[in-house]
Amino acid sequence: MKERQDLTGKHIVLGLSGGVACYKAAELTRELTKAGATVQVVMTEGAEAFITPVTMQALSGRPVYTSQWDARPDNNMAHIQLSREADAILIAPASADFIARLVQGRADELLSLLCLARPIERVPLLVAPAMNREMWAHPATQRNVAQLQADGATVLGPAAGDQACGEVGDGRMLEPAELRDELIAFFQPKRLAGRRLLITAGPTFEAIDPVRGITNHSSGKMGFAIARAAQEAGAEVTLVAGPVHLPTPRHVRRIDVQSAQQMYDVVLPAAARHEVFIATAAVADWRPAQMNAQKIKKDGKKQAPVFELTENPDILAAVAALPQPPYCVGFAAESEHLLQHAREKLLRKKVPLIVGNLGPATFGRDDNTLVLVDVDGHRELPTADKLTLARALVRDLAERLKTSA
């Protein structure tokens, strides 16, 4: 698949304050430029003790600024020119000292000066803290972070884990890929702000014995992409996932299940607390009526075992039949006659929207083609990577929710 360019057209001022996490800023610069952004690096004197301007210039492809007295700008005002050109200013790493400088409105070096001089209504400030766990937990730092947020800045992290000092706890700067995704999400329109979404994803596994079971080829990628897109759009997302090997989208609550019955038992009580239910999971229609307690062994007679099957609960239909159901979106993964089967499912499940796709053509892939089917007709979302499709679905869903309200 082609590298995603989610930050195309965005100009980011990346500020580095003093801290060992400056080593992550090198990879962060690469991640941002690969995502399409132009990156202008600005470094404090402390940052130069950990990583060189030469390294950051090589990775960003632009001269690095370190001094408020830099005469390269035509007006000799680097703090004005750099801040006016930016779509956002990202401080990563942001040390405890630099956070305090921001809160106090200090302006005695270039990076804090350009943060103070930025047009606050159109150039957002994002801050990625990086410090020792005791420094992060200190009341002074917590007061400063709270004031920074009250002043309109967005604080990204920190994470917990091993620290350079040998201690373990909160204070690690987020990883470069995490910061890239946070920045991408920051720029996405918040079409679902305040909405609560419940999403199912992946296959289910119906056990035959302790080592075998009935499942399918669903990778969960489409459902996880929808969860990410919905969270980017401002929603509070709960993701109920069958057995898949995918990382949880940031800020999404994930509940892992195995069987269709387990998924049903999680979804039904939760559905009433959500405004939207998106049933992306490829739930097995049938399960063995009884699971064997031990592995079924060959008996040497070349006679295959016979299993009695029983029908699994219909999760989507059950949610749609609740006294006050959420807005329900079903998925139809078909092998043929997609429109016909999707429309039949729409009517049978009594839901407002079915998203159809050809299962064998999409399971495990990074791209897909979707058809949106409702009572008025159908509309195709042309082939694209699954995150692009998920964002298109979120846009469509946001409009439908406005209409239904």
In 3-state terms, what secondary structure has residue 13?
strand
Sequence-distant (6+) residues with CB within 8 A of 342 are 332, 334, 354, 356, 371, 373, 378
- Are 283 and 315 in contact, with CB atoms under 8 Å apart? yes
Q: Which tokens go with 276?
A: 């939207």
- Report the alpha-carbon distance of residue 218 to residue 199 in Å, rounded: 15
Count CB-CB contacts under 10 A for residue 232. Answer: 28
Q: Mark whether 22 is an active-site residue.
A: no
Q: Which tokens go with 149?
A: 């947020």
- Report the alpha-carbon distance of residue 197 to residue 275 in Å, rounded: 6
Helical axes 221-232 vs 176-187, angle rounded to 10°:
60
Summarize the chain as % helix, strand, coil (round to 5).
35, 25, 40
Active-site annotation holder among 22, 115, 165, 328 = 165
Catalytic residues: 165
